Chain A
Amino acid sequence: MNKKIVFIVDDSIPKPKESVNDAIYENPITTNELVRLSKNNIWKGELNLQKTVDNLTLNDYTTEGLIEVYGFIHPEICLIAIESGILPDVIIYDWEYGNSLPNQNSGDLLLEILETTTAFIFVYSGVFNMIPPTLNKSKFNPFSDRFQLLAKGNHSHLIFSSEEFIYQYVVSLINKSNNIKIQGIEIDFKSNGYLNEPSDILYLEQIFGRAFIVDQLKKNSIINDEAIEQMLSTSESLILFNEEKKMLVTPENKSLIGKGSYLALNYMQVIKKFSVQILEETLEKGLLIL
C-alpha cells in the first residue's frame, strides 16, 4: 500500500508557551510534533481541529507509516513544502489567517495549491458562509471535483459530521474496510457489492433521506452486503430497464420505452447490476441512458 500524505494548513495549530519560539512553525510540522502539541494541550476554541488532528495522527495506519501528516500555520509555508517536493494526497485548508491573510488572498493561495498539486482539498473553516461567493467563481470551476467545503464542527450539512467525513475519506484511500463514524455512531464499513466507499452512503441518503439511513445504521452498526440488502429491501419501488436501448426509467415514464420489453428491477438489483450513482441519477432525472 502506498503511503498517503495529508497536509493540515491552519493558523489555529496552537503555539504553547514552551514552543512559541520553536522553528517548527516555520517549517512543516511533523506528525510526531502534532501528536505532542495535541497531547499536551487542550486547543481552546479549536476542539474540532484538534479532533481532526487526533483522528489523523492516532490511528493504526499512521502508526504503521501509511499515513503521514504535516501541519502548516500558513498556506505560503505549505506552498514552499510543495515546491520542495513533499506532495500531499489530501489537504485540509483553513480559510482565515487573521490579519496576515485577507479573504481574497486565501482564495488565491488555494487556487495556487490546486494548480500545483493533484491533492483533494477540504476547505475546512469556521467561517463557512463567507466562502461560497469566492469558491463559486468560475476560476475554481476546473477544480470543482478536487475540493469540498466543510464547516468546522458541522453535524448537519452531510450525514457525516465534517470531522467524520475527513477521516473516512483519508482512511479509505488506504483501505476500503474501516471503522468509521456516521452521526457519532461507530460503523464497521466492510467492502461490499453495493458501495465502493463510505462516502457512497451520501447517494443512499439522497434516495432514502437522512432519518431513514441513520435509523438503519443505529440498528446494525455495520455496513456490509447483508446490512445494505436489509436497507434496500424496505423499498418496494421499481426501475424499468430496457436492455436493447440501455434505458433505465422510473415507472411514471414507462411510455418512453414504448412497446419494447423491459425488466422491472428493484433498487437492490439496480445497484448490484449498475451502481448506487446510477440509481440516484435515474431517480433524479426519471430517465437514464447507459
Chain B
Amino acid sequence: MPALTPEEKKNLGKFINPFERSKTKTIEKNLFDGEKHNDEFTDFIHDGIENNEPPQFVKITVDELTEKKILSGSSYAEKCFLWIIDDVSIKIIWEKTSNVRRYPKQYVCHTNITACGKAYIGGEMYFCEDGNIYVNFMSDRYGWPETDEHKRCAIEYIKKVGYKNVINIEDLIKNDL
C-alpha cells in the first residue's frame, strides 16, 4: 500500500506541530508528562500502509453508534481509534490503550502516536459492524484543518491505503442541519 505522495502532502495542508492550529493551547502550556512519548506504544501503533486492522481491533455496533451519538459528534473511547497522518502514512491506535504515565485520563492521546512530532492532520475513527468506517477530525493537537478540502484529501488518502466505506462524520452533522 502506498505512502503519501508529494502531491497528497501538498493537498493535506500544513505539516504542523501539536496544537499549532489551536487558538488557546500550546505545547509548553498544555502538553504534559505522559503525552510526549511513544516508545511504550510502538507495538500498538498501526501503520495503515501495512494492512487494515489495527491491534486491539474492536468494532462499534450500530446500536452503540446511536446510543453514544457518534454520528452527531460524540466520542466513545472504548471503541474509538485515534489516527494521524504523518510524513509517511496514516498511523492508528486504539484510544483506550493504557498509558499510566498520563493523568487524569490514563490512556493514549494523539501525541503518543507522534512522540510530540509533526503531523498533517488527525482525528478519531470508528470501525462499525455495518461495514462503514466513521471518521472525524476531533483532535486539539492535529485536528480541525483549515479547509474542507484538506479533510476531503485526508479521507481520500485513507481510502487509497485500503480502507473501504470511509464516511466523514462532519458531513453527516452538516447534512442534518
Contacts and interface: CB of A to CB of B under 8 A. Distances in A.
B167 to A, nearest CB: 16
B28 interface: yes
Interface in A189-239: 199, 202-203, 205-212, 237
A286 B100 contact: no
B177 A289 contact: no
A144 B32 CA distance: 19
Size category, A interface:
35 or more
B47 interface: no
B74 A288 contact: yes
Interface stretch (B2-10, B84-92, B101-109, B157-165): B101-109
A100 interface: no
B174 A258 contact: yes
Contact of B174 (A250, A256, A287): A256
B74 to A, nearest CB: 4
Contacts of B75: 285
B6 to A, nearest CB: 28
Contact of B177 (A135, A157, A259): A259
Contacts of A145: 106
Contact of B173 (A147, A157, A208, A256): A256
B140 interface: yes
A179 interface: no
Contacts of A132: 40, 99-101
A250 B21 CA distance: 13
B111 to A, nearest CB: 12
Contact of B29 (A211, A245, A253): A211
A2 interface: no
Nearest to A148: B103
A136 B99 contact: yes
Interface in B45-82: 56, 69, 72-75
A252 B23 contact: yes
Contacts of A123: 100
B130 interface: no
A207 B29 CA distance: 9
A85 interface: no
A202 B102 CA distance: 11
A145 to B, nearest CB: 8
Interface string A72-116: 000000000000000000000000000000000000000000000
A228 to B, nearest CB: 18
Interface in A261-287: 283-287
Contacts of A205: 32
9 contacts: A131-B100, A135-B98, A136-B97, A148-B100, A206-B32, A255-B174, A259-B177, A285-B139, A288-B73
